[in-house]
Structures are given as structure tokens and as C-alpha cells.
Chains A and B, each alone.
Chain A
Amino acid sequence: MTTESTEVGGVVKSDTPPAAPSTDTTRQVVASTIANEGAMGERILDVRNFSVDYGWGEGAVRAVDSVDVHLDRSTVLGIAGESGSGKSTLVYAITRLLRAPGVITSGEARFNLGSNEDGEHVIDLVTASEAELRSLRWSSISIVLQSALSALNPVVRVGAQFEQVLKTHRHDMSKVERRARAAELLGMVDLNEDRLDRFPHELSGGQRQRIMIALALALDPQLVIMDEPTTALDVVTQREIISELFELRSRFGFAMIFITHDLSLLTELADEIVVMYAGALVERATARELYEAPRHPYTLGLLDSFPPMHGERTELSGIPGSPPDLAHLPTGCSFHPRCPFALARCANETPPLIEIEGSGRSVACWLHVGDDGAAVPVELNRVSTSIASPSERVTEVSS
């Protein structure tokens, strides 16, 4: 099997069919078995050095710049950032839903379909063919978009939209079974079966978004991508949908990528959060650590942009200036013109995303590079109380 393999885009593709046919008859994926990249294990998605441009040549605008993200099975990765930070572009590109003039210029996105006796079935979404992608979409990866009104077909009844999905991917189901499954799915998101006979415009925003979630879960996917699913909804509806979503997740165990600009919402629901600014990752940490002890000045500013619900009213400053124009990015660190802690080198050199020693979290900021952390401002050197190990606290006290 390995002798006749050819390498395509960093992934070794086999010319011959796998020795033993896949036991999973529903997923007709031509599995591209990886040879030397190492097993992915619990990891479900591994995106490396991923870049996306809008346009070509001179006029190209880099929307996503060398991003590395990964997530494990049954975990929630939160992507936070403002509009134009590239968070939606990133997931559209990973799922290959990006349309021209968007182009993936570098990187790989390896998706782990799970393992059986042949070993792992890993597919690189960047090099996957349309046929492979079609069999993956809905059944392994599904996506819920911000505007359910534009995601649902306005002239087709809700029931028929479930019918379409199930008919395409589950050939063995009869019409009656499909209808029953659709009703069951609606029940999962707390909607009455009679909604199947309605048109999307007859439903409220919250109900439509529930239907999108039910559709996304129709084929029991391993990864569900949520692109600002609740931004257009009221806060009470948002809370209901989020708690339902998490109930479903604990039942079915799918992994989730959750995109939003609302960092406080993300802190409540994500395991790990990455913060994007101007197309690049600026910080990665577990949700509690990021909230309690941000390391990047942008993350700090973003957290300070949400007025609190408790305590004394104090004036907050937010972040001065406005988000950058991707076509005319500042030199060096893209955030430096708005950064209150900017150093001289920030204007010239772009900081890489590097791990802070021994903490398992990463930040792209010169303040945290070199020296012994003496230059790090107090605000960016807080200790996360819920996670901090005793040893870390001792150093904090002694310094």
C-alpha cells in the first residue's frame, strides 16, 4: 500500500484502494491514509500554516496569515475576533466553502475521520476532491451560519429541506423513515413536529436557528462549525439555544468550532480560545486562563470592551483607534498603532506566535519574548487563579 503511493500536497495518497474495505458503509470516503506525519489520535482537526488571500497578484489581500489551529474530539474551540479579523474566512477555507476571489495560498487542514482496523483515516481538506468533500459535508462536518434566514431556502418548506439532506446522504432510508428522523431532530431542538410544514419566513429567528442546528446534526457529524450562530438573536433566545446546544453535545459528543466576537460568551462555553486580529492568531489559551489572565494587549483590550454586570461603574477605555484595513496593514505587529504597551521593535518586526514557557499557552507579542518577563506590564502578567499551580503563585509573591 505504501509502495505505490504518491505524495500530493504533503499528504500521501494511495493509488490502490485500501486493503480492507471500510466497515462504515455510510461514509463512502476514499480515505487518504497518512504515512509519516504521525497519528492524530484524539485530534480531529489539525490546521497548519494556513493562509488565505482575497484576489491575486498585486492586489491580493491576505485575510488569514499562517494560522495553526487544532482541536480534539468532543472539545470546543472558540475563535474570537472582530469583523475583518479573518475568523469566518478561516473556517470557510478549511471547509472549502470559500468562493473566488478567496484562495487558499498555503497550509493543510487534516481531518481525522476516525480509526478502524486499517488505522486512521485522515484526509487533507485542502487537497480533497469535490467528491470527497461532498461525502464529508453534513455527514462528518457541518456548519451553522449566522443568518438562518439566508441559509434556509425561503421557498421550500422546512420538512423538504430535511428531506433533501437525508435523501442525499442516507440512501437506505425510506420516505417514512426520513420524515420520522426529521421529526426526531426537531424534537431534539425543542420544536414541534408541525414546524416541518412551515416555510422559513413563518418562523421566528430563534426557531430558524434551531432548525439550522437540527439540520447540522441530521447525519450525526463529528465536527460542527458554528459561525456566530446567535449574534442576530436576543440574549434570552441566545441563552436557550446555547444551553440546548451543549445538552446535545454532551449527548452526541461532537467537537465544535464556535466563532463569535463576544468574548464573554466564548469564555463560558469554549474549552480553548484563539484570538484573531488582522488575519493572524495573536493568542491561544484555555478559556479560563484567557479570561482571567490575558497575555496579549489586544485580548486585554477586548475583555475590557465589555461593560461588567456587577460592581462599581468605572470608566472603561476599550481599544483606541479602529480595526486595520487588511489592504494596508501596519508594518510589524498589526496591532501596534492601537497598543498601549507598544515597544520600538513592534513597529518593524512581526512577533511570531510562541508558547510561553511551561504554561501551554501561546501569544504573539514582543512583550513576552526574551528577558525574564521583567518588561511585561502587570496587566498582562496576571495569574489565573483557577488554574495557577502553587509554584507559579510562589514566584508571583516573591517578585
Chain B
Amino acid sequence: MTDEMTSSVQLAARHLTRHFSVRTPGRLFDAKRVVRAVDDVSLDLVGGEVVGVVGESGSGKSVLARMLARIVTPTSGDLVLQGKPIEIKSKRTLDYASQVQLVLQDPFASMNPVHRMSHNLLRPLRIHGASKQDAPGLAEVALRRVSLEPPSRFLDSYPHELSGGQLQRVSIARALCIEPKVLLADEPISMLDVSVRLGVLNLLRGLCDNDRLAILYITHDIASARYIADSIIVMYAGQVVEQSRGTTLVDEPTHPYTQLLIASVPDPSDPTRDTPPTGERAQTDIAEKGCRFSPRCPHVMDRCREEEPPAFIVGENHTSKCWLYADHEAAVGVALSTRRKEGETATT
């Protein structure tokens, strides 16, 4: 069982960190400041599962995707592709690219506007070793996989002739045509029309279920992550603040930031609920010391300003990086172990 589980982990990231050094605007000779874009993020991308990463702009979710695609070199951390450790400081190899593909937010910007779709699709195929005779056939197969029928019509068209939804499907087809095992989708639906978003989400879910693709789905829309993801990670200021299997995190958020995020989502199905506790004008500054959310947190304690909290276990496969749960962990641990024992006795 465990062997099978570990072998299906396609891409594992351990303690991925990326710091950027920047100058304070207007002060040319001042010491450089470090922006901790991504800090100590670990995750497993498993075949047949969608991992959703939710965060606001600037939370580091796109930098994370680019590190996983090895477009951005991590400051530190490890990547393991199908059990093989990757030398993170080296240049990305063709072999890595053939296994891990990235789909970007804006399909209009990610397609060469002066070339037909056939060019956009055949190029990766040829680069990854398909022969001149095979490539067009493989491109057609890829277009069928993303439900663009008939493929010939799309191969002959230019990017401006297609709608946003169709174009995003082509860019997914382009990523899929070389049969990768991991698909990194960075906000794949946020530029699309509302009515075609679900189509693309359902497509991703289908690829995951039918072709056992491992998908990282990055979004700022927590409802869409709840819709397709098998596990959800919430990022704030470069760190994972809460993660859970399934929809637990959305249904029972524990971290104050996740709670704020969820309370802010428009939800007309619940007209009686109170407006969320945005409270006093939130200070957007990120704390340099202690918990990074502490300046905005409604439950802030003295400890939060001094020490950075570790990720506490708050439930089964559910962790929360918040001091509020420091005493919880022991209690939850006991509860979980008894539940597991009950489960064992029930099965035996």
C-alpha cells in the first residue's frame, strides 16, 4: 500500500524557498531588502489528484509554480521527480520539461500571435523528439483530448480567431501533447469568460481522473479550488498557512486568514450571514518577525508578534500554521488515534 502510494508521487517539493532581493524605492544606495516570495513550501503532486493552491496576489503562488516548472531557480529546497532527486541549481533539462508542463493564465499572451495553432503545437512535439510524420497526428490527438473537434479546424487557425476558452484549451493541449506526468496550471481560468470557466475546470478534472495526471491548480478563487481539488493549500505571504485533504479547509477553516478569505467570498446562498469581520482597515504590511499575518489578524496574541508558529495538526490531514492551535495538537492527536483505533476495530 505505502509502496504504491509513494511510487505514484510524481513530483515532490521539499522546503522550497525563493527570496528576491530588492532595493527600497527611491533610495539608491541603501542596503537591499529581501522579499521572501516563497518560504519553506513542501508538497506532493500525486498522479490522479489535483492539488489546489489558493492565495491572493503576492502570496507567492505563481513563483511556486515557476519553481516547480524550474523556470525560477529556488534559493533552497529540494525537488524529487518520480523518485529521482533533481539538482535544483542546474539548468532545466529537456527530460524534466517533458514530464512537468506549465499552463499560464493568459492564453492570448502565451500563444505566438503570428503563427497558426499547428506551429504552436508541433514545435513542442518536434523539440521533444516526435518525427515529422508523427507530429501532426499527435497534435490532433492532443486537441481531441481537450475536446476541440474537429482538430483540423483548430490546427489551421490563428490565435486571434479563437475565443479565450478555446485558446486556453489549445494551451492545455500544447502542454499535454508531449505526455507529461505533471501539469502545473497557474490561474488557468481567471482570464476566461465566466460561462466557459467550468468547462476548463471539468476538463482538468477529467484529465486527472482518466489519465492519472498530477495537477497543481493555482487560483485566487477558493470556490473553484473546492470544486476540483483533492487537497487544498492556502498561502499567505509566501508561506503555507493551512492545508487539508478534500474540502475540510473550506468547510471548517481554522486559520484566521483562511476564515477571512472565505468570509470575503460573495455567497448569495446565505443572505442572513453577517458581513465578514474585516474590522479596522487591515494593515497590509507583512510582519518581518513572528507570524506574517499577525498585523491583520483579529485573534493576534503577544506570542504571534514574536515567534513564528509551526504548522499544527488540527484534524486528520489538516494543518494550520497558527498559535491558536498550539494546545489543540495534543488533544487532536489523541482524538485521531482513538478514531483510528475505532476504525480498526470496526473493520476487524
Note all chain A residues with C-beta closer than 8 A to B250.
309
For residue B7, CB closer than 8 A to chain A, the reply is no
Selected interface stretch from B83-91, B118-126, B271-279, B322-330 = B271-279
- The minimal Cβ–Cβ distance linking A246 to chain B, given in whole angstroms, is 9
Asked whether B265 lies within 8 Å of A234 as measured between CB atoms, the reply is no
* In the complex, per-residue mask of B242-286: 1 if CB is within 8 Å of any chain A CB, else 0: 000001001100000000111111111111000110100110100
- The minimal Cβ–Cβ distance linking A57 to chain B, given in whole angstroms, is 23
Q: A234-B220, A318-B195, A319-B196 are in contact. Are A264 and B284 (CB under 8 A)?
A: no
* In the complex, per-residue mask of A241-285: 1 if CB is within 8 Å of any chain B CB, else 0: 001000000000000000001111101100000000000000000
Give the interface SS of chain A, mostly helix, strand, loop or mixed.
loop
For residue A288, CB closer than 8 A to chain B, the reply is yes
Bound complex: CA A287 to CA B263 (Å): 20
Q: A235-B56, A268-B266, A318-B198 are in contact. Are A323 and B163 (CB under 8 A)?
A: yes
Asked whether B195 lies within 8 Å of A243 as measured between CB atoms, the reply is no
Q: A190-B281, A301-B195, A322-B193 are in contact. Are A288 and B271 (CB under 8 A)?
A: yes
For residue B202, CB closer than 8 A to chain A, the reply is yes
Asked whether B227 lies within 8 Å of A291 as measured between CB atoms, the reply is no
Bound complex: CA A306 to CA B201 (Å): 11
For residue A23, CB closer than 8 A to chain B, the reply is no
Asked whether B224 lies within 8 Å of A82 as measured between CB atoms, the reply is no
Chain B residues 269 to 327 lying within 8 A of chain A, measured CB to CB, are: 269-271, 275-276, 278, 281-282, 284
For residue B25, CB closer than 8 A to chain A, the reply is yes
- The minimal Cβ–Cβ distance linking B166 to chain A, given in whole angstroms, is 6
For residue B6, CB closer than 8 A to chain A, the reply is no
Q: A235-B220, A264-B267 are in contact. Are A309 and B199 (CB under 8 A)?
A: no
For residue A333, CB closer than 8 A to chain B, the reply is no
For residue A115, CB closer than 8 A to chain B, the reply is no
For residue B94, CB closer than 8 A to chain A, the reply is no
Q: A318-B199, A322-B196 are in contact. Are A236 and B264 (CB under 8 A)?
A: yes
Asked whether B56 lies within 8 Å of A307 as measured between CB atoms, the reply is no
A: contact size bracket: 35 or more
**Total A-B Cβ pairs within 8 A:** 118
For residue A99, CB closer than 8 A to chain B, the reply is no
For residue B15, CB closer than 8 A to chain A, the reply is no
Q: A82-B193, A319-B196 are in contact. Are A310 and B57 (CB under 8 A)?
A: no
Asked whether B195 lies within 8 Å of A319 as measured between CB atoms, the reply is yes
Asked whether A243 lies within 8 Å of B275 as measured between CB atoms, the reply is yes
Asked whether A306 lies within 8 Å of B223 as measured between CB atoms, the reply is yes
Bound complex: CA A374 to CA B11 (Å): 55
In the complex, the chain B residue whose C-beta lies closest to that of A206 is B284
Asked whether B278 lies within 8 Å of A239 as measured between CB atoms, the reply is yes
In the complex, the chain A residue whose C-beta lies closest to that of B57 is A234
Note all chain A residues with C-beta closer than 8 A to B92.
none
Q: Which of A239, A291, A302, A308 contacts B264 (CB 8 A)?
A: A239
Note all chain B residues with C-beta closer than 8 A to A318.
195-199, 202
Bound complex: CA A317 to CA B227 (Å): 12
For residue B212, CB closer than 8 A to chain A, the reply is no
Note all chain B residues with C-beta closer than 8 A to A304.
198
Bound complex: CA A77 to CA B127 (Å): 53
Note all chain A residues with C-beta closer than 8 A to B197.
305, 318
Note all chain B residues with C-beta closer than 8 A to A308.
223, 269
For residue B346, CB closer than 8 A to chain A, the reply is no
For residue A38, CB closer than 8 A to chain B, the reply is no
Asked whether B267 lies within 8 Å of A235 as measured between CB atoms, the reply is no
Asked whether A309 lies within 8 Å of B195 as measured between CB atoms, the reply is no
For residue B226, CB closer than 8 A to chain A, the reply is yes
- The minimal Cβ–Cβ distance linking A199 to chain B, given in whole angstroms, is 10
Chain B residues 134 to 186 lying within 8 A of chain A, measured CB to CB, are: 163-166
Asked whether A234 lies within 8 Å of B223 as measured between CB atoms, the reply is no
- The minimal Cβ–Cβ distance linking A201 to chain B, given in whole angstroms, is 9
Asked whether B269 lies within 8 Å of A261 as measured between CB atoms, the reply is no
Asked whether A291 lies within 8 Å of B195 as measured between CB atoms, the reply is no
Bound complex: CA A15 to CA B83 (Å): 86
Asked whether B198 lies within 8 Å of A316 as measured between CB atoms, the reply is yes
Asked whether B264 lies within 8 Å of A235 as measured between CB atoms, the reply is yes
Note all chain A residues with C-beta closer than 8 A to B193.
82-84, 261, 322-323
Asked whether B264 lies within 8 Å of A322 as measured between CB atoms, the reply is no
Q: Which of B194, B224, B284 contacts A261 (CB 8 A)?
A: B194
Asked whether B266 lies within 8 Å of A305 as measured between CB atoms, the reply is no
For residue A320, CB closer than 8 A to chain B, the reply is yes
Asked whether A307 lies within 8 Å of B224 as measured between CB atoms, the reply is yes
With a 10 A CB-CB cut-off, give which of A204, A315, A316, A386 has the most chain B CB atoms: A315
In the complex, the chain A residue whose C-beta lies closest to that of B193 is A82
In the complex, the chain B residue whose C-beta lies closest to that of A290 is B268
Asked whether A234 lies within 8 Å of B227 as measured between CB atoms, the reply is no
Bound complex: CA A309 to CA B223 (Å): 6
Q: Which of B165, B199, B266 contacts A267 (CB 8 A)?
A: B266
Bound complex: CA A309 to CA B224 (Å): 9
- The minimal Cβ–Cβ distance linking A22 to chain B, given in whole angstroms, is 40
* In the complex, per-residue mask of B204-236: 1 if CB is within 8 Å of any chain A CB, else 0: 000000000000000011111011000000000
Asked whether B261 lies within 8 Å of A236 as measured between CB atoms, the reply is yes
**Can you give 21 contacting A-B residue pairs, CB < 8 Å?**
A84-B193, A204-B284, A235-B222, A235-B265, A236-B56, A239-B263, A240-B281, A243-B275, A307-B198, A307-B201, A307-B223, A307-B226, A310-B267, A310-B270, A315-B202, A318-B195, A318-B197, A323-B195, A323-B196, A338-B195, A386-B271
The 4 closest A-B pairs by CB, nearest first: A318-B198, A307-B227, A267-B268, A239-B264
With A206-B284, A313-B227 known, 8 other A-B pairs at CB within 8 A are A204-B284, A236-B261, A301-B195, A307-B226, A308-B223, A316-B198, A316-B227, A317-B198
* A interface residue numbers (CB < 8 A to B): 82-84, 190, 202, 204-206, 234-240, 243, 261-265, 267-268, 287-288, 291, 301-302, 304-310, 313, 315-320, 322-323, 338, 386
